[in-house]
Structure 1
Amino acid sequence: MNIVRPALKLTHDGALAVMQAALATATAMGAPQCIAIVDEGCNLLAFVRMDGARVLSVESATRKAMTAATTGEPTGHMPPEKASALAAATSGRMTNLLGGLPLKVDGQIVGGIGVGSGTGEQDLEVARAAVAAFARHIGNMDVA
């Protein structure tokens, strides 16, 4: 019987690499964003509120990252009745707004990114660019 299991962990440097890709995309789009990156336990590793990003998007970006890291799924695709139940059951800590994506290595969730302050589509575009950069970094290293 195994009583422990090996686990990959997102590092602060990894979170910063994801952040840099998100910032570059948001800047190129001209859409100031709040960007949150969490580890698999929903612990905040990196956060930026770009100049001009909405103050209340600090919370939504963080909750998007937490939701993606917890569920392993993108945010924004849940039926409305389930989304309301999810928010209520978690005291608002989880959300179904577009802009949250999980960070995975070999199918294992190592974290999540949440982006907020633009339209849902802009938020998702920034998050996708960051996840693509993450995947390129993973492809360049030995994770075994």
Structure 2
Amino acid sequence: MKDVTLEQAGAVVAAAVKKAREINTKMDIAVVDAGGNLKAFARMDGAWLGSIDIAQRKARTARYFDMNTGEIGKLSQPGGPLFCIEHSNGGLITFPGGIPLRNSDGEIIGAIGVSGSSVEND
């Protein structure tokens, strides 16, 4: 299994911090490896404490299912094929802000999760 490197994870975090500053928000940013384990994390000054856990769960959710958490959210609505999935795996996050990370060959090597702003910004 390919895995995101610490250098790559740091670059992803730096890009997310840059984007958060551009849109004038404060984020908690988590990057997990291919196994869903935390590889890198940053909490911007003034970011919500409650978003620390949410960012990490978004990243894990995106990696566990290899899809954006917003897509999982659509599938987990009442009557959907993944209804109530957020209660599995110790608690998942099924709203936007988690995205799988792929290498140049298209292989998933980890995921990023961000939290701290509106659903649209996350």
Q: Give the TM-score band, short-chain normalised.
A: 0.7 to 0.9
Given candidates 14, 28, 45, the residue that maps to 1:20 is 14
Structure 1 counterpart of 2:56, from 62, 66, 79: 62
How many residue pairs get matched? 116
Q: Residue 102 of structure 1 aligns with which residue?
A: 100
Gaps of 5+ in 2: none
TM-score, scaled relative to structure 1: 0.75
* CA distance in 2: counterparts of 1:115 and 1:43, whole angstroms: 15
Matched residue type, 2:93 = T
* Over 6 Å off, 4+ runs: none
Residues 32 and 110 in structure 2, CA contact (< 8 A), matched pair in contact too: yes
CA distance in 2, matches of 1:67, 1:84: 15
**In the alignment, is the contact (CA less than 8 A) between 1:33 and 1:118 conserved in 2?**
yes
In 2, are the aligned partners of 1:36 and 1:113 still within 8 Å (CA)?
yes
Preserved contact between residue 86 and residue 95 of structure 1 (Cα < 8 Å): no
**What's the CA shift for 1:84?**
5.1
Q: For residues 38 and 55 of structure 1, do their structure 2 counterparts lie closer, same or farther at Cα, with a shift above 3 Å needed?
A: same
The structure with the largest alpha-carbon Rg is 1
TM-score (ref. length: structure 2): 0.88
Question: Percent of counterpart pairs with the same letter?
Answer: 38
Coordinate RMSD, CA, aligned: 1.4
Post-superposition CA distance 1:17-66 (Å, at most 9, x none): 11110111101111000000000111111111111211110011000000
Kept in 1, the 8 Å contact 2:30–2:114? The answer is yes
Q: 1:119 Cα deviation (Å)?
A: 0.5
Greater share of helix residues, 1 or 2? 1
